[in-house]
Amino acid sequence: MTQEEFLEKNVFTGLQKNEEHNDCYFSEEDFSEVLKQCEHFGIAVYDIKTTLNGDAHKTINHDSFRKKATDVNWYKREYSHLKHEQAGLLYAATYKVSKKLLAR
């Protein structure tokens, strides 16, 4: 199974996604579900990208906070900051699914 197949089957199922610039963007509510699934499966989140009215808004990366991509606290905290900072954003992320999960 590829990383994309795993994400589609186990993380993005039932969520409304908007594909732009080779990324899957989600509403605030759906992205919250994506992050819950990432936490559940131990999926690394390297960065979070936002868009507002079709224009790139802000991108944050785990390295900026000196945190591991698998550290749930970094992406939960920063997602919370982003959604309070600006309403109406769409969210995307860069993920890494472990080889163990892909082998299941």
Q: 3-state SS string over 31-54?
A: HHHHHHHHHHHCCEEEEEEEEECC
For residue 77, is pLDDT > 90?
A: yes
> Parallel, antiparallel, or unpaired: how do β-strands 44-52 and 90-96 relate?
antiparallel
Annotated domain spans of the chain: 3-99
The pLDDT of residue 94? 95
CATH 3.30.70 fits domain 3-99: no
Residue closest to 62 by CA, chosen among 40, 19, 93: 93
The pLDDT of residue 23? 87
The pLDDT of residue 33? 97
The pLDDT of residue 85? 92
For residue 14, is pLDDT > 80?
A: yes
Residue closest to 95 by CA, chosen among 35, 55, 53: 35
Q: How many CA atoms within 13 Å lie on the side-chain side of 13? A: 7
The pLDDT of residue 16? 93
Identify residue 11 by its one-letter amino acid code: V
The pLDDT mean for the chain works out to: 92
The continuous run of DSSP H or E covering 82 comes out as helix 72-85
